[in-house]
Amino acid sequence: MTREPAFPSRSAAEQTIQRELTAFARRARGKAAELHPDLSLVAFSILDLVIERDGCLAHDLAQHFTLDKSTVSRQVSALEKLDYLRREVDPSNRRNHILYATPAGRRVVRETEQRRRDAFAARFADWDDDDVEQFARYLRRYNEND
């Protein structure tokens, strides 16, 4: 028995992927505001990466997220005003500052992350384990090719 293709062409499948990823990004930005009103998706992502790396330079953030340095600077300033980030002079290059999460920043990421996990669990509640694992593999593969 031959399986009917889900899309009439590779191009149609790629267009669908692009449209669905755009919808995903829009939904993620909207959800971020619900999860924490003071943190945009970009600010949360920056804070999360600073925690993951146990400190990093603003330049590294801009490079990692493919953001303009001015965007990173604005987000870092906002996170500092909220007392979620602090700067320390880089001992290896005193012109640079290493960004670190404060205890308050770590707490807000932990709390927000739990709400994110709960939201994802609810979203995937009717998916079987194999589908969730396959989706995770595809997303990892997609993001590794950057």
Q: Is residue 100 part of a domain?
A: yes
Residue 74's DSSP bridge partners are: none
Whether residue 101 contacts residue 47, with contact meaning beta carbons closer than 8 Å, is answered with yes
CATH number of the domain bearing residue 79: 1.10.10.10
Structural domain for 29, as ranges: 18-144
Q: Is residue 4 part of a domain?
A: no
Q: Is residue 10 part of a domain?
A: no
State how many domains the chain has: 1
Look at residue 128 in the predicted model and tell me its pLDDT.
96
> Per residue in 113-125, is it b (16+ CB within 10 Å) or e — as a string?
eeebeeeeeeeee
Look at residue 122 in the predicted model and tell me its pLDDT.
93
Give the pLDDT of the chain (146 residues) as one tens digit per residue. 567 778 889 999 999 989 998 998 888 777 777 777 778 888 889 999 999 999 999 999 999 999 999 999 999 999 999 999 999 999 999 999 999 999 999 999 998 888 888 988 999 999 999 999 999 999 899 888 76
φ, ψ of residue 7 in degrees (nearest 5): -130, 145
